[in-house]
């Protein structure tokens, strides 16, 4: 309660001079994200977003540094009006309510993805040599993959792996990390998808939730966008868009389509194995059980990717034999079936 009072007092003291305030300042709580941040829309004119972001649990300095870095290169991120790092308070520009994901329902999605890919190209063109982005290296890729066994396999499904199973996963992870490290390196948002893009009033796209940005594999953000954990598109459409994006990137001029799609698919597999661990952790540790409903689509992506490459065949067979029966026994799990998109 004291933190909330401090938060309210700080907001009133930090409002910009050009922001008009009614007689009584009100904080309207908004839906949160996968982190510990809490968001509030203020009844100011224009409206602002206040964020209560626990400094011991969230990367607030990274958020500010990456935001300024992206803005300096023309990427639209919320303007930061005020920040208190000690208490974890931020006052931000309000990007409105037109989430990219929601616009896909009522609008032709092709121009939306055209815009999203153009913004992604702009992000990849940012000069990161002197920027605030840490390396997306073998250690980080491995740390992410290491979430899968304890959270998804052990704690969510109750399985203890034997030595052969652990060895199989280690061999797969080595292939995925090697594939990622072969790629040209660019600034990477690391969570570039339909829930982290906003359609602004001027028709442009705004980018949010970028505090984990790194310098890493060129296919990472593209596969996050096209093999979205919350939105599914037909495989031929995904492949066509992925190869169309490749044609727009100078660093990929000498890479043939087959090699690029291998990078793309294996990068997606690395991401989706990581996400299975993250979604399980969100449900079990943070009581965010809604993420369990997103697991079937992520499983579908994993199985599709491992159907195509010899180095992923053992994982595919193991997952179908060992994991799927236990998933199908869960009350929250229903096999993902494609809709008629």
Q: What is the pLDDT of residue 224?
A: 98
pLDDT above 70 as % of the chain: 96
Q: What is the pLDDT of residue 130?
A: 55
Q: What is the pLDDT of residue 21?
A: 84
Q: What is the pLDDT of residue 92?
A: 97
Average pLDDT for 317-339: 95
pLDDT digits over 133-159, tens only? 999 999 999 999 999 999 999 999 999
| Cβ atoms of 34 and 291 closer than 8 Å | yes
Q: What is the pLDDT of residue 34?
A: 60
Average pLDDT for 55-73: 94
CB within 8 Å of 1: residues ≥ 6 apart: none
Q: What is the pLDDT of residue 269?
A: 98
Taking each helix axis from N to C end, the angle separating 257-286 and 163-181, rounded to the nearest 10 degrees, works out to: 130
Averaged pLDDT score across all residues of the chain: 94
| Cβ atoms of 274 and 187 closer than 8 Å | no
pLDDT higher than 70, residue 80? yes
DSSP calls for 261-321: HHHHHHHHHHHHHHHHHHHHHHHHHH--GGGGGGHHHHHHHHHHHHTS-GGGHHHHHHIII
pLDDT higher than 60, residue 48? yes
| Cβ atoms of 177 and 311 closer than 8 Å | no
Q: Is 274 exposed, middle or buried (0-12, 13-18, 19+ CB in 10 A)?
A: buried
**Cα-to-chain-centroid distance, residue 86:** 26
* pTM score over 0.85: yes
| Cβ atoms of 150 and 170 closer than 8 Å | no
How far is 295 from 280, CA to CA, in rounded Å?
9
Do domains 2-93 and 100-328 share one topology? The answer is: no
pLDDT higher than 90, residue 336? yes
pLDDT confidence tier of residue 2, bands split at 50, 70 and 90: low
Backbone CA torsion sign across 130, 131, 132, 133: negative
CATH superfamily membership of 2-93: Phosphorylase Kinase; domain 1 (3.30.200.20)
Fold of 100-328: Aminoglycoside 3'-phosphotransferase; Chain: A, domain 2 (3.90.1200)
pLDDT digits over 278-323, tens only? 999 999 999 999 999 999 999 999 999 999 899 999 999 999 999 9
pLDDT digits over 207-259, tens only? 999 999 999 999 999 999 999 999 999 999 999 999 999 999 999 999 999 99
Residue in 313, 318, 290, 316 with CA at minimum distance from that of residue 34: 290
Q: What secondary structure letter does DSSP report for 150? A: I
Pairing between strand 80-84 and 89-93? antiparallel
Instruction: Name the residue ranges covered by the structural domains of the chain.
Output: 2-93, 100-328
């Amino acid at each position: 309660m004291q933190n909330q009072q401090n938060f309210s007092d700080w907001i009133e003291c930090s409002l910009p001079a050009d922001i008009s305030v009614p007689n009584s300042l009100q904080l309207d709580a908004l839906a949160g994200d996968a982190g510990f941040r809490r968001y509030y829309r203020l009844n100011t004119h224009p409206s602002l977003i206040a964020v209560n972001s626990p400094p011991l649990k969230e990367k607030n300095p990274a958020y500010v540094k990456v935001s300024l870095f992206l803005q300096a290169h023309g990427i639209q991120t919320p303007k930061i009006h005020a920040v208190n790092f000690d208490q974890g308070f931020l006052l931000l520009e309000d990007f409105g309510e037109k989430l990219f994901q929601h616009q896909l329902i009522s609008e032709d999605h092709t121009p939306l993805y055209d815009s999203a890919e153009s913004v992604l190209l702009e992000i990849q063109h940012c000069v990161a040599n002197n920027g605030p982005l840490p390396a997306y290296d073998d250690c980080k890729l491995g740390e992410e993959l290491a979430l899968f066994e304890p959270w998804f396999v052990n704690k969510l499904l109750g399985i203890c792996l034997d030595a052969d199973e652990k060895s199989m996963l280690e061999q797969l992870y080595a292939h995925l990390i090697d594939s990622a490290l072969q790629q040209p390196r660019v600034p990477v948002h690391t969570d570039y998808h339909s829930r982290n893009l906003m359609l602004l009033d001027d028709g442009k796209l705004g980018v949010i939730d970028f505090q984990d940005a790194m310098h890493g594999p060129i296919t990472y953000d593209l596969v996050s966008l096209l093999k979205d954990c919350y939105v599914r598109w037909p495989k031929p459409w995904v492949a066509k868009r992925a190869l169309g994006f490749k044609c727009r990137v100078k660093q990929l001029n000498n890479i043939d389509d087959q090699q690029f799609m291998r990078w793309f698919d294996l990068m997606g597999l690395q991401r989706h194995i990581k996400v299975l661990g993250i979604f399980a952790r969100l449900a079990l540790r943070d009581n965010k059980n809604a993420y369990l409903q997103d697991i079937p689509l992520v499983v579908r992506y994993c199985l599709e990717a491992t159907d195509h490459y010899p180095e992923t065949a053992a994982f595919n067979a193991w997952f179908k034999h060992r994991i799927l029966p236990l998933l199908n026994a869960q009350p929250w799990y229903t096999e993902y079936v494609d809709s008629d998109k």
